[in-house]
Amino acid sequence: MRVHILEMPLDFGANRHGSDMGPSAIRLAGLRELLFRLDHKTEKYFSPLNISPQEYADEGNPRAKYSAPIVTACGQLANEVENAVRCGAFPLILGGDHSIVLGTLAGLSPALKEQHKRLGVLYVDAHGDFNTADTSPSGNIHGMCMAASCGYGLEELTELYTPGRKVDPANVCYIGVRDLDPEEKLLMKQAGVTVITMTDIDRMGFSSALRMALDFFRERADAVHVSFDMDVIDPMFAPGVGIPLPGGLNYREALLLMEEMARTGLVCSAEIVEVNPVLDVRNQTARMAVELIGRLLGDTVY
Ligand SMILES: [Mn+2]
């Protein structure tokens, strides 16, 4: 497979900074060696230019902090993602905080439409990221990015790169969710996204939950984007994230999820976000990110 590595060293969307160093930690954890071992060709490497660090940028609207630099960088990312899909390559996006999904989906949407493919999104996250500037308790855009991609919220976010929503909420499936704000929950229900919570996983067991997610995409998508927030994993295994929440997926479940998604043959792009080296322990979260990418790109134990 031809892979385009698209780095987004940005932490404008989050409260606890440091995920801008995520791409570098993932590189250090051996991403290039992994791709080489799996026989994938790294065809292109991109990192946005002229993005000032958050410390030197203007916060702007307190209800949607740093929206200007986020929109600028995500516009560049969207263009890169669109080009990658157009030329038949696999965009692998490395965050950064989760606000970068705005750019990823903005680029995937027109490229897949052109190919008459229905886009599905597997959103692997402890959180919903489905607030708007009106409901968000923090004003951090990484908590609004999925709502905006589904067409809800500030126009500067919903209209990013191309007009209107980037993905049909009916084609979005969450897995691993365990913390939603009350108004966020209402909006998700109203939008009609599918949510497999940690409670669902506890009730039915991980393998049944997994089958549910796989069936979901087999029925309704021709191309699936996997958006993986490292905070979905239990902090016992992945401590280096902005908002660690106990009770998450374990190490083996996360790997299995990636391996089974790869086997559907539907995955067209992926992103790994919220690796925060400042909060990590000896780069173990980034190393796990690399292992997850490996399974998603065809690695197996035997
Ligand atoms: Mn997230």
What average pLDDT does the segment 253-261 reach?
98
For residue 44, the model assigns a pLDDT of 86
What average pLDDT does the segment 220-233 reach?
98
For residue 49, pLDDT beyond 80? no
What pTM was estimated for this model as a whole?
0.97
For residue 219, pLDDT beyond 90? yes
Average pLDDT in the chain: 96
Spell out the domain ranges in the chain. Answer: 2-296
What average pLDDT does the segment 46-72 reach?
88
* pLDDT tens readout for residues 237-255: 999 999 999 999 999 999 9
For residue 223, the model assigns a pLDDT of 98
For residue 295, pLDDT beyond 80? yes
Distance 149 CA to ligand 1 centre (A): 13
Provide the annotated active-site residues: 98, 125, 127, 129, 142, 229, 231, 274
* pLDDT tens readout for residues 207-216: 999 999 999 9
Residue 78 — pLDDT band, cuts 50, 70, 90? very high
Distance 218 CA to ligand 1 centre (A): 24
What average pLDDT does the segment 16-25 reach?
94
Distance 195 CA to ligand 1 centre (A): 14
Distance 188 CA to ligand 1 centre (A): 14
For residue 16, pLDDT beyond 90? no
What average pLDDT does the segment 62-75 reach?
95
For residue 266, the model assigns a pLDDT of 98
Distance 193 CA to ligand 1 centre (A): 15
For residue 132, pLDDT beyond 80? yes
Q: How far is CA 8 from its chain centroid?
A: 12
Environment of ion ligand 1 (residues, CB < 5 A): 98, 125, 129, 229
For residue 117, the model assigns a pLDDT of 98
Q: Per CATH, which fold does 2-296 belong to?
A: Arginase; Chain A (3.40.800)
Distance 98 CA to ligand 1 centre (A): 5
**158/58: higher pLDDT:** 158
